[in-house]
Amino acid sequence: MSRCTLCDLPTGDDPHTAPDVDGEFCCRGCLTVARSLDDVDDLDDLDERRPDATPDDEFDGETTFLHVDGMHCATCESFLEMTAGEQEGVAAAEASYATDTIRVDYDPDAVSAAELPDRLSVAGYSASDRADPDAEDNDAVVRFLIGGGFFGMMAMLWYVLFLYPTYFGYDPIVDLGGVSGTYLFAQIWLFASIVLFYTGYPILRGAYVSLRARQPNMDLLVSLAATSSYAYSTLALLVGRTDLYFDVTIAVVLVVTAGNHYESIIKRRATGMLADLTATEDRTVRTEAGETVAADAVDPGDRLLVRPGERVPFDGTVAEGTAAVDEALVTGESLPVTKRAGDPVRGGTVVTDSPVVVEVGADAANTLDTLVRLLWEIQSSRSGIQRLVDRLATAFVPLVVAVAAVGAAATLALGSAPIDAALVGLTVLIVSCPCALGLATPLAVAAGIRDAARRGIVVVSDAVFESADDVDTVVLDKTGTLTDGEMRLLDATAAEGTSVERVRERAAAVERASIHPIAEAIVAGVSGGSDDGAGERSGDRAATDGGTVSASANGGAAATDVDVFDRGVAGRVDGDEVVVGHRDLFAERDWPTPDRLREAGAAARDRGNVPVYVGWAGRVRGVLTVGDEVRDGWESVVADLDADGRRVVVLTGDAPAAARRFAEHPAIDEVFAEVPPEAKAETVRRLGADGSVAMVGDGSNDAPALAAADLGVSIASGTDLAADAADAVLLEDRLSAVPELFAVTRGTNRRLKQNLGWAFVYNAVAIPLALSGLLNPLLAALAMASSSILVVTNSARAVYNEN
């Protein structure tokens, strides 16, 4: 069987083709996307970036995905990929610090999946199963409070009491050249060693990783300043000098660690707001006989019972029964689909009204699991954006080291003592302002995360702040994003001589016997939004499985002798036979439909909604329109995005009629309809050939597309999988938060550049002074602290004000 050119799904016996488009497609949506985007520039390069493309097409081993704690920059990615590549049995590896994920292709005969986490847990990184990552420990807190706080405070106390007074001409309290001085200096050396090698271990590890990967970063510059002052002071101590600069080491390590720790606190506080989105997945299923078994024990051909409200566990075929199936989670289709014996069903969809028996397909696959794997494929291939400060460090670190070395060599050549030449070099390294540069990014990012959280936006990946400003195209999912994704009664039309209220009441009276989503929407709409009988109705329906029941509509007309059919429901109300459902039910009874109602039904279908016909006394008396509503303010949101110069695209699995209103809006550039979940990610990638892309969605079917985008934004009312794929999550289910997110990222980027600008202006002044000998390490440290205070103060201000 041939496969879709766009999404690689089977095309079936009758693939969709067009003379103006190369290839065969599984659906009309994929064909439309290919027609619109096949001519984009550099499309061939996209195939090389496909997340499912392995470095070696002949590799027939296995692939696993690991969660890695400790990655914080692009250098970490390179180091872990290099480390994995050195392991026996590993064919390839691809890491992403933006998602804390590494994909490993390996030969199971040479190394087992269980061994890989231990082999990649090196240099302070901790790898674990991606499906069940370990909770983040409090190691950073322990390092900072115990290692840094206590021992650093003790060392600084000795400086304040015994050393700093001598810098201003006062006599020392103790004899610094005697036994007391030696004991004092030994304690300071010990405390400084603990701070540097324990509290500063993550910084030193980052420096080591950058050297191994040959990508200088800010950790390397900070480590140079801290270790240089430590090394100089240790040598000075051994030769009997008292001008020790362990305080510089302590200050550099603690200030940078505090900034990073503050950023992590803000991140954890923000991501803690996502706790309610997390749910435990039930991995058990029910056999046709009603026995509960583990999902792993299911084989192809097994018959499973799926009751109303439960998910179909595997892709398969309906063997017995008829039910309305909600496919919104997997396909994005907002309207339920009726499935009968012989119809295919996808794993992860929800049976809504009647129990069915499903025969498991040949591969015992679950479409939802397939989406999860596709998500992980994309996440592991998505390299995190290297922080601006690290990009600058690539050039700045070698420059500072060169200047320090040249300054020290020049001082020595002019006849100064070696210790004085070393002091000049040390002063340059210290005055290069590693603290201000080290604080510039974490404090600006923390401020952005804080301001975003105040607006109900959780920033999951700090790469958002450097990628959002570059977004050229914003892709909006329709169902659940532009619309609320909930079925409700939208409109009612009555025939001449019949009141709308009577049509609504009689429809609700008989619909109460059904638990079909459309029936529930009608009853809730007539009863003012509350449907107190839903639970009772569900129990009756499950018990009778299509039998005759009686119901009433919240005190309205009573229905008796109610029969639930495949395409509707019928019962007796006030002695009249009332039929509610598909138009075919009335055609079978030869009940005429007035032109007015026929036009109303056609209009409802054109808008992508469901027309529900209501009739009694031998003719159709009204039409009810059921569908999901657009979110309040969606027009102003797309208008704001368009005004920012961004291209706006709507993507949906629904039919074109359901998206017509969006296609007609002047701010929306393009609408792609009937796009299957597997093709959404590919559509986003192809849009990315013309520039950076942001994707806004809510369902599990959107998760691969969210991960494939340069910036993924999830609506919190959606699924856990979508939230896991996103870079930012909108907690308040408010679409207007999307433009606010761009405003916050723009303000954060501006703050980051201000911080870096100040740091480099300071360096331009301070480094020449250090080279001239006008600054010693202590004055350099004080100047460095002053610049750091300015960075902290600047970052404390709000990055975005609505006014």
Tell me which residues are annotated as active site: 477
Q: How far is C-alpha 258 from the chain's CA centre?
A: 26
CA nearest neighbour of 506 among 489, 523, 483, 490:
523
Q: Do the beta carbons of residue 649 and residue 473 sit within 8 Å?
A: yes
Query: Residue 680 and residue 331: Cα distance in Å, rounded?
Result: 10
Burial zone of 704 (CB within 10 Å; 0-12 exposed, 13-18 middle, 19+ buried): buried
Query: Residue 767 and residue 505: Cα distance in Å, rounded?
Result: 83
CA nearest neighbour of 84 among 125, 52, 28:
125
What tokens appear for 513 in the block?
């016997």
Query: Residue 335 and residue 652: Cα distance in Å, rounded?
Result: 12
> Residue 288: which region, alpha, beta or left (left: phi > 0; alpha: psi -120 to 50)?
alpha
Q: Which letter, b or e, does each residue of 482-495 get, where b requires 16 or more Cβ atoms within 10 Å of its Cβ?
A: bbbbbbbbbbbbbb
Q: Do the beta carbons of residue 659 and residue 652 sit within 8 Å?
A: yes
Q: Do the beta carbons of residue 588 and residue 556 sit within 8 Å?
A: no
Q: What are phi and psi of 400, to 5 degrees?
A: -65, -45
Identify the three-state secondary structure at position 432. Answer: coil
Dihedral angle, C-alpha 670, 676, 677, 678, nearest 10 °:
-110
Give the HSE-up count for residue 436: Cα atoms under 13 Å, Cβ half-sphere: 29
C-alpha gyration radius of the chain: 33
Query: Residue 772 and residue 765: Cα distance in Å, rounded?
Result: 11
Give the C-alpha distances (Å, rounded to integers) separating 25 from 39, 52, 154, 409, 698.
17, 19, 70, 69, 26
Strands 647-651 and 670-672 come out as parallel
